Structure formats: structure tokens, C-alpha cells
Amino acid sequence: MAKAQAAKSKSSASSSSGGGGIGAWFKSLTASKPKAAPARPAASSSTLTNIQAQTTGGASPRTGTKPLQAKKAVRPGGEGIARFRMPIIGARPVTTQIQILGAIAFVLLVVTGGLVFMDTKSRSENSTYVTIASQMQYHTQRLAKAAGQAARGLQLAFPQVQDSRDEFANYLAILQNGGFAFGNDVPSAAHNDELKSRLEELAQRWPESANAATAILAAQRDLVALAENIAQIRVGSEEMATLSQELTGLMTQSGSPPAQVLRANRLTFLAERLGRGSAEILGSEIIDPVVPFLIGKDTNDLRGLIRALEAGSEPLGILAIKDPETKAKLTQLKDQFALFEKSVGPILRELQKLVSARQAGAQLVSASESLQNSVAKLQDTLTSEKPVASLVAVIAFAGLFFIVLVLMVLVFLADTRRRAAEAETENRRNQEAILRLLNEMGDLADGDLTIKAQVTEDITGAIADSMNYTIDELRNLVTGVNNAAIQVTQKTAQAQSISNELLSAAERQSKEIEETTSQVLQVSKSISEVSTTAEEGARVAQRSLAAADKGRLAVQNQISGMNDIREQIQETSKRIKRLGESSQEIGEIVELISDITEQTNVLALNAAIQAASAGEAGRGFSVVAEEVQRLAERSGEATKQIGAIVKTIQADTQDAVAAMEKSTQGVVEGAKLSDAAGQALTEIDSVTKNLAQLIQNISTATQVQANATNRVAQNMQDILEITRQTTRGTQQTAGSIRDLAAVAQELKSSVAGFKL
């Protein structure tokens, strides 16, 4: 059995060798060209058919069964590929060969990618170098042109000079040291001797042009100012020439001497020569030193002639101009000359700077030709540069890469063909062994458990060993089944007797439970009636308790009302007492008024006596005294009436106080009686509460008893139902025991055909 398992594991190991990720990948590559698959063994269908033919007959003996034979398998094609062997590494395992070829392919792929990357990078860098050289050529030409314009003081030329100088210097630094330009970060262009010499030549020639451009830029302000002054000189000289001609014409008209008019004509000549000199300074590349000298000399001569014409001059034989119109024209000429002198002065003082700038411009123009030649040579050298990696090398390495891939495919296909042939041989041997085992095991289908299968080293050796073990166990099983069938038959007879006795007991128990349930239901009904009566008594007690509570609350309200009445009566009594006291005070005040009235009457009488004794003088006063006397009498009568009323009020007040005291006494007595009634009602309320609580407890207890009785009755019903189910189960068990006895007999009959 161990040998068979070892053979099986060896077969599975050989079929799985060379697998993994690379094998699966090559299988997907070769899936488009399927080859003829090896013929599958015919043992599966024939074996199943043979087993079915042997087992469907049950225990009947076989008749006319022929031994099974294996069919011949068709050999797959592709034997040429199967014989393919790699040189040098062909003796290694297929997995190792594929790994080696894969490593070689990876190296070739990396080298090819590196060559492509280097070629692309080299071409990009060289293109950037050529573009930089073209820009340097452009800036060289632009610098020479802009320098000449800047030397003449043209304002727009100076930014061009500075931009071209800086850009050229930047490009030269990038070519020498590397840097970022035109979207690429490039290294130094001096990667061979020729380019290095070209860059050194360019670097030696560039400082001359750079210094000249720097000198021009340093003199920018002076050059621009000089250019403006020279332009003003040209305009001023033309204006002076015109004024000089007009002055000469006026002198002729005013009768000036011909010699003086001739000398005045020299003004026009000098003004025109000054204009030509300024134009020569502004337009020529190189300034003649004679021109500035002549400009200074002509300026001095022009100044002397103007002064001579204005004030006269004996050495020159010129008389002062007297004609007003001519003198006014001379004044205009003098003013124009003053403006002219302001422009000429800076030119003569700063002429050396202009000369230096012109020389720098000329130097830059002359140096630009050699600089352009150097740039052109550098550009030609860069254009002729060949890439690091040629296209032929890239194609060669790519071809090697694909050749290695083809070799990998061939190795994989050859291994697949060899493994298919080995699997076919192994399958054929396994098929023959399986058929041999099936022929040996043919008697097992007839129920013969005494057979023994032959154990060999083939793949069926383990199966034969297992089948022998299975037959032994099956023999033991059939023996056990026979013994168990006998025991089951005996035990089923005993169980049948016991189940009959249980069935009788269950029927008697069911009848007794039914009677007990009926009695419990009657008790439950009686308890329910008692509970209903107790509940009704509890409700009556609750109503009595509610009535007692209402009476107690009414008495309490009555007591509270009487207390309020007593307090109100006491308050009223106090107020009436205060009213009596106030009336007494009023009486005292009335007595005081009465006394005052009597005194007033006496005073009025005395006044009347005094008025009568006074005669006519006191007659008016007598009338007043009489009126006062009448008022005093009326006041006395009113006082008497008020006193009578006050006495009446005092008498009524005393009566009211006495009545209030009696009412207060009655209220106090009524409050005492109400309090006693309230206490009695409180006791009634307490007793009623106790009674209601007792009745409620009785009702609750009877309800609990009723519920318990109902639950007992329900439990009895459940027990009755369980008893009925038990009875039915016992009946079913008895039937099952009878069926089990029949099954045991059938089981004994079914294993009777096996040969032990």
C-alpha cells in the first residue's frame, strides 16, 4: 500500500513539475494553437458499466461475464518538439531552464530599454544644444546690430543689447556647465575633445564682445543725452541759418554797408557748417577729431559776430545795428544761439564718452564676425554628433530578446509534450492495473466475502489492499448484522409486551385525570363566584369611603367658613369700637365748638355795645357784630344737633358691639360642634378605609385562588392531553416495534446470501 501511494505521489509530482506562474503564462501563449490531446483511458465508462452489471443483480451469480481488456491509446503528435533540448542548460530541470532564459530575457530587455533611453536622452540633449547654438547665433547678430544703434543713442537699442548679452552668456554657461534650457535639464556639452575645444574658443572670444556691450550699457544715459543734444543742435543750426539769412536781408534793406552785410553772411555759413558737423557726429561710425574742433571754433566765431553786430567792433570793422527791425531780428538770433550753446556745451565736454562708445560698438561689430564663426563651428559640430546608442544596437538586442522568448516557449512546449507522453504511459499502466483489479474483484458482486485481491506495486496496489481490508470489515459487518437481527427480534418481543402494559396504564390514567379535572373546574367556579361577591363588597366599601370623605371635607369647609366668619365679626367689632371712640372724639370736638360759639356770641354782644357807644362811626361795625352774633347762634344750634346725632351713634355702636360679641360666641360654639362632627367623620373615614382594605384583600385573595384553580384546571387539561398523546405514542411505539421486528427479519434475510 505504501509503495502504491509512493507511485501515485511520484506521478502527481511529475505532472506538476515545471508549473507555476511562468508555465501558466506560456500555456496562455500557446492556447491559440491547440495540439492533439492524449487519448483518455477507456477504463472509466467500461469500469462503471461492469460494476453496474455486477451490482444490479443483487446476490444472484454472474453468468457469461468476460474479463475486461484495456483499449490501445492514440499517441499524441508533436514528437519533434518533445525531443528538443537546450544546449548547455538542457540537462537542468525545466523550471531552472525557464528561469535562466527569463533572467537572460530580462537582462536583454533592460539593456534594450537602457539603449533606447540613452538614445532618446542623447538626441534630446543634442537637439537642445543645437537650439542653444542657433539662439546664440541669433543673439550674436542682434547684439552687433543693436550695439551700433545704441552707440548712436537710440533708446530702444539698449534693452536689446542687454538682453542679447545676458542670453548669450547664459547659453554659454549652460553649454559649459550644464543647466535647464528649453524644457530640458542638460549636462555640459563638452563631452568630447572637439566640443570642448569649440567651447573654449567661444569662451575666449566672448569676453571681448561682452565687455564692449557692457561699456555701451554703462554709457547709456550719456549716449542718449548726447543724441538728444546733437538732434537739438541740428534743429538749432537750421533755425540760426534761417534767422541769419533774414538778418542779412534786413541789413541790406536798412542800408548797412556792403562790407558789413558780407560779414553778416558768414553767420549763415557758420550755422550751416555747425549743422553738418552735428550730423556727421551723429551718423558716422568713427568720429573725426577735426569735427569737434571745428564745431567749437565755429561756435566761438558765431558768438563774436553776433556781439559785433550788436555792439560794434573796430577790429572787425563792424558797426552796431541801429535799425529797430534788424536789431529785433538780431535779438532773435542771439536767443537762438544761446539755446544752441546750451546743447553744444555737453557735447564738447562728453565727447570722449561718445568716442569710447562708438569705438566699443565698432569693436563689438568686428568681434561679432569671429564670434559668429565660432558659434557656427560649434553648431556644425553639434549637428554632426552621433547618438550614443545606434538603432542597429537597439534592434540587435531586441532581436536577441525575442529569440530568448522563443527558446523559452520551445522549452516549455517540449516539457509539456514529454510530460504528456509520460502521463499517457502512466495512464495506460494504471488502466491495465485497474482492469486486472476489477476482474479479480468480480466474485464480490456475487456476495462472496472470502475472496482476496492481489496486492502489487502498481497504482492499484493500494486499492487492492484497501479492498481486502473493506472485504474483511464487510464480512465482520454481515456477521454483526446477523447477530443484531437475532437480538432485535428477541428485544422487540419484550418491548411489544411492555408497550401493551403501558397502553393499559395510560388509558386508566387518562380516565382518572378526566374525573379530577371536572372536580377542579367545579371548585374553580365556586371560587370565582366568591371572588365576584368580594369584588362587589369592595366596590360598596369604596363608595362608602368616598361619601365619608365628602362629609369630612364638607365639615372641614364649614369649620373653615365659621372661622372666617368669626374673624370677620371680630374685625367688624373692632371697627365699630373704633367708630364709637371716633364718635366720642367728635362729641368732644362738638363741645369745643359749642364753647367757641358761646364765646363768639359774647364777643359779638360786646362789639355791638361798643358800636352803639361809638355812635355814627360805629354803625357799620354794629351791623357786622349783629351778623357775627347770628352766625354764632346758628353754629350753636348746629352743634347741639351734631351732639344729639353723636350720642345716637354711640348708643347704636354699643348695641352693635354687644351683638357682635354674642355672634362671635355663637360662631365659636358652632365651630366646636363642627370640629366634633369632623372628628367623628374622620373616625368613620378611617374605619371605612380599613373595611375597604379588608374587603379588597379578600377580593384579591379569592381572585388569586380563582386564578390558581383555573391554572390547576388548565394544567389538568394539559396533563390529560399529554396522557392522551402518551397513549397515542405508546400505540405508535407498539406498531413501530412490530415494524422493527419485521425489518429485523428482512435484514436477516438480506444478508443470508453472503458467503462468510
pLDDT tens string 288-305: 555 566 666 777 777 777
Helix segments in 312-458, DSSP class H:
324-349, 351-383, 391-440
Determine which of 227-241, 530-544, 621-635 has the lowest per-residue pLDDT on average.
227-241
Determine which of 62-66, 492-496, 542-546, 632-636 has the lowest per-residue pLDDT on average.
62-66
pLDDT tier for residue 593 given thresholds of 50, 70 and 90: confident
Could you tell me which residues are beta bridge partners of residue 448?
A: 755
Nine cell digits for residue 307: 556781439
Determine which of 45-49, 192-196, 216-220, 257-261 has the lowest per-residue pLDDT on average.
45-49
Residue 532 has pLDDT above 60, yes or no: yes
Residue with the bigger pLDDT between 261 and 10: it is 261
Residue 42 has pLDDT above 60, yes or no: no
pLDDT tier for residue 53 given thresholds of 50, 70 and 90: very low
Decide: 122 and 389 in contact? Cβ < 8 Å.
Answer: yes
Q: What is the dihedral of CA 290, 296, 299, 304, to 10 degrees?
A: -110
Helix/strand/coil (H, E, C) string of 183-205?
A: CEEECCCCCCHHHHHHHHHHHHH
pLDDT tens string 83-118: 666 677 767 777 887 788 788 888 888 887 777 777
pLDDT of res. 429: 78
User: What single letter denotes the amino acid at residue 56?
Assistant: T
Residue 751 has pLDDT above 50, yes or no: yes
pLDDT tier for residue 68 given thresholds of 50, 70 and 90: low
Sign of the CA dihedral 367, 369, 374, 378?
positive
Cα separation, 556 vs 677, in Å, equals: 9
Cα separation, 205 vs 161, in Å, equals: 17
**Three-class SS state of 177:** helix
Cα separation, 373 vs 206, in Å, equals: 12
- Helices and strands (H, E) in the chain, number of each type: 15, 2
Nine cell digits for residue 557: 369647609
pLDDT tier for residue 21 given thresholds of 50, 70 and 90: very low
Between vectors from CA 434 to CA 432 and to CA 435, what angle results, nearest 5°? Answer: 65
For cell 461492469, the residue is: 50
The predicted model gives 199-214 an average pLDDT of: 79
Tell me what the pLDDT averaged over the chain comes to: 72
Residue with the bigger pLDDT between 32 and 632: it is 632
pLDDT of res. 225: 67
Q: Residue 180 belongs to what H/E stretch?
A: strand 179-181
For cell 454483526, the residue is: 480
pLDDT tier for residue 69 given thresholds of 50, 70 and 90: low
What are the chain's domains? 220-372 (1.20.120), 460-753 (1.10.287.950)
Decide: 38 and 420 in contact? Cβ < 8 Å.
Answer: yes
pLDDT of res. 19: 39
Residue 67 has pLDDT above 60, yes or no: no
User: Which range, 398-402, 522-526, 606-610, is most confident?
Assistant: 398-402
For cell 429485523, the residue is: 744
Long-range residue pairs from 191-194, CB within 8 A, at least 24 positions apart, any chain: 194/381
Residue 14 has pLDDT above 60, yes or no: no
- What's phi and psi for 755, nearest 5 deg? -95, 115
Cα separation, 271 vs 102, in Å, equals: 96
Could you tell me which residues are beta bridge partners of residue 181?
A: 184
Residue 127 has pLDDT above 70, yes or no: yes
Residue 120 has pLDDT above 50, yes or no: yes
Contact residues for 328 (Cβ-Cβ < 8 A; gap 6+): none
pLDDT tier for residue 33 given thresholds of 50, 70 and 90: very low
pLDDT tier for residue 278 given thresholds of 50, 70 and 90: low
Decide: 670 and 564 in contact? Cβ < 8 Å.
Answer: no
Decide: 242 and 335 in contact? Cβ < 8 Å.
Answer: no
Cα separation, 216 vs 230, in Å, equals: 18
The whole-angstrom distance between residue 4's C-alpha and the CA centroid of its chain comes to 64
Cα separation, 104 vs 112, in Å, equals: 12
Q: At what angle do helices 460-614 and 619-750 cross, to 10 degrees?
A: 170
User: What single letter denotes the amino acid at residue 157?
Assistant: A
pLDDT of res. 433: 75
pTM of the model: 0.36
Residue with the bigger pLDDT between 419 and 31: it is 419
Parallel/antiparallel/unpaired status of strands 179-181 and 184-186: antiparallel
pLDDT tier for residue 469 given thresholds of 50, 70 and 90: confident
Residue 545 has pLDDT above 60, yes or no: yes
Could you tell me which residues are beta bridge partners of residue 313?
A: 318
The predicted model gives 50-58 an average pLDDT of: 38
> What per-residue string of b and e applies to 102-139 under the rule 16 or more CB within 10 Å gives b?
eebbeebbebbeebbeebebbeebbebbbbbbebbbeb
**SS3 helix, strand, coil % of the chain, rounded to 5?**
85, 0, 15
Q: Residue 179 belongs to what H/E stretch?
A: strand 179-181
Cα separation, 600 vs 625, in Å, equals: 10
Q: Which of 709, 664, 708 is nearest to 522 (CA)?
A: 709
Sign of the CA dihedral 99, 103, 109, 113?
positive
Decide: 129 and 147 in contact? Cβ < 8 Å.
Answer: no
Decide: 115 and 397 in contact? Cβ < 8 Å.
Answer: yes
DSSP string, 416-435: HHHHHHHHHHHHHHHHHHHH
Could you tell me which residues are beta bridge partners of residue 186?
A: 179
Nine cell digits for residue 344: 553744444
Burial class (CB in 10 A: 0-12, 13-18, 19+), 233: buried
First to last CA, the chain: 25
Contact residues for 142 (Cβ-Cβ < 8 A; gap 6+): 160, 164
User: What single letter denotes the amino acid at residue 34?
Assistant: P
Residue with the bigger pLDDT between 54 and 91: it is 91
Please state whether 284 falls in left (phi above 0), alpha (psi between -120 and 50) or beta. beta
- What's phi and psi for 230, nearest 5 deg? -65, -40
Q: Which of 402, 485, 555 is nearest to 748 (CA)?
A: 485
User: What single letter denotes the amino acid at residue 433?
Assistant: A
pLDDT tier for residue 754 given thresholds of 50, 70 and 90: low
Q: Which of 339, 350, 351 is nearest to 299 (CA)?
A: 339
Residue 2 has pLDDT above 60, yes or no: no
User: What single letter denotes the amino acid at residue 628?
Assistant: V
